[in-house]
Amino acid sequence: MMRVLAGETLARPPIWIMRQAGRYLPEYRALRARAKTFLDFCYAPALACEASLQPLQRFKLDAAILFSDILTIPDALGRSVRFVDGEGPRLDPLIDAPDWRFDEPHRAVQRLAPVHEAVERVGAALADDVTLIGFAGGPWTVATYMLQGEGGEKDRARRAAYERAGDVDALLALLAETTALHLAAQARAGAHCLQIFESWAEGLSPALFERVILAPTRALLIRLRALGVTAPVIGFPRAATSEQIAAYADALDVAGLGLSTAAAAKALRGRIKRPIALQGNLDPQLLVVGGRALEDGAARVLEEFAGGPHIFNLGHGITPEARIDHVQRLVDLVHGDGL
């Protein structure tokens, strides 16, 4: 995977799977039961490490990704974060708060030391040929959760970006700084590469995309490099338009680009002005469905991404309904053991 991130085109792409340590694995569900809250789980280095390693014990994946969550950052910044079963995360919405107060970024990131310790543990346990991925949420995605208090429609976050432009820009700058420190700590702890999950890059006008995605992510990456981190970064502006994805690749110091299910890799390669590793983008539902549909879908992805550096992945996270035998089949297909 690191060769692909350096620009090499391989005959068979490496493969990892977004949310590969997750609820579709019975051993994950058993492990999860050992911590009370989801954040307790993320902050227990032994548990987070074991969760990160579980999928590698089943499948011949080329990368492990730290088990953690993008909302550890708001938690560390002093915002209350709860995970409600079946409903997703809940925060106290900033939109309703009379004034916005956050802890100082360095002190916040010190609170994430257990996450960095988990990275160290995973690194120590991994085979030499397996890449270790650290990650964080993109500033706008994390800000959206903080502003609205939840996911769902992003209307309120977008409205705040217009109505309280100064406050929102300051929040994005704070998140860029905090995220750079958090990613740098993960790199120092042994992460080989870093992914930025901008899960809510969709539905933004061209002007707003520049302001709330490109500008803070640029600041984040400049800061990350200033901190001495050389690890390649994969940006994942999920469900952005093709023009926005190309602008993201051209404007930012990223070695790889995650593509969501709808994206057309071949067309994007023609649009981006430099060689870049493209990661994606099988429909996660095909790991529920399996059979011929999975085989056809995987073959189409391999064909669509051929002719340039490719990291095989899904277009979105694996779902709890995915079947383990289908994941096994996919890994075999991609590695060429099963085509």
Give the x/- contact pattern for its own copies in 163-202, rule: CB under 8 A: x-x------------------------------------x
Give the x/- contact pattern for its own copies in 221-240, rule: CB under 8 A: ------------------xx
Instruction: Identify the three-state secondary structure at position 188.
Output: helix
Q: What is the DSSP letter of 101?
A: -
Choosing from 304, 309, 310, 329, the residue that interacts with its own copies (CB under 8 A) is: 304
145 part of the active site: yes
331/339 Cα distance (integer angstroms): 10
Choosing from 167, 203, 295, 323, the residue that interacts with its own copies (CB under 8 A) is: 203
CB of 205 to its own copies, least distance (A): 5
Residue 286 is a binding residue for its own copies (CB under 8 A):
yes
Contacts of 292 (CB under 8 A, 6+ apart): none
Catalytic annotation, pick one of 32, 188, 218, 323: 32
99 part of the active site: no
Instruction: Identify the three-state secondary structure at position 274.
Output: coil
Token readout for 317 is: 């996270």
Q: Residue 68, Cβ neighbours under 10 Å: how many? A: 26
Closest C-alpha to 328, from 61, 137, 142: 61
Catalytic annotation, pick one of 19, 121, 211, 223: 19
Token readout for 339 is: 């085509």
Stretch that binds its own copies, among 15-23, 28-36, 53-61, 162-170 (CB under 8 A): 162-170
* CA 193 to chain centroid: 11
Choosing from 30, 46, 226, 293, the residue that interacts with its own copies (CB under 8 A) is: 293
Choosing from 186, 260, 279, 313, the residue that interacts with its own copies (CB under 8 A) is: 260
Catalytic annotation, pick one of 12, 23, 225, 323: 23
Site for its own copies (CB under 8 A): how many residues?
41
Residue 262 is a binding residue for its own copies (CB under 8 A):
yes
332 part of the active site: no
314/256 Cα distance (integer angstroms): 15
223 part of the active site: no
Strand 277-282 relative to strand 310-314, pairing: parallel
Q: Which residue has the tokens 């997703």?
A: 88
Q: Which amino acid is at 174?
A: L
240/293 Cα distance (integer angstroms): 26
Could you tell me the sign of the dihedral formed by the alpha carbons of 269, 271, 276, 279, in that order? negative
159/211 Cα distance (integer angstroms): 14
Residue 306 is a binding residue for its own copies (CB under 8 A):
no
28 part of the active site: no
Catalytic annotation, pick one of 145, 158, 283, 329: 145
Choosing from 169, 289, 295, 323, the residue that interacts with its own copies (CB under 8 A) is: 289
Active-site positions read: 19, 23, 32, 69, 145
Binding site for its own copies (CB under 8 A): 155, 158-159, 162-163, 165, 202-209, 239-244, 260-264, 267, 281, 283-286, 288-289, 293, 296-297, 300, 304, 315-316, 319
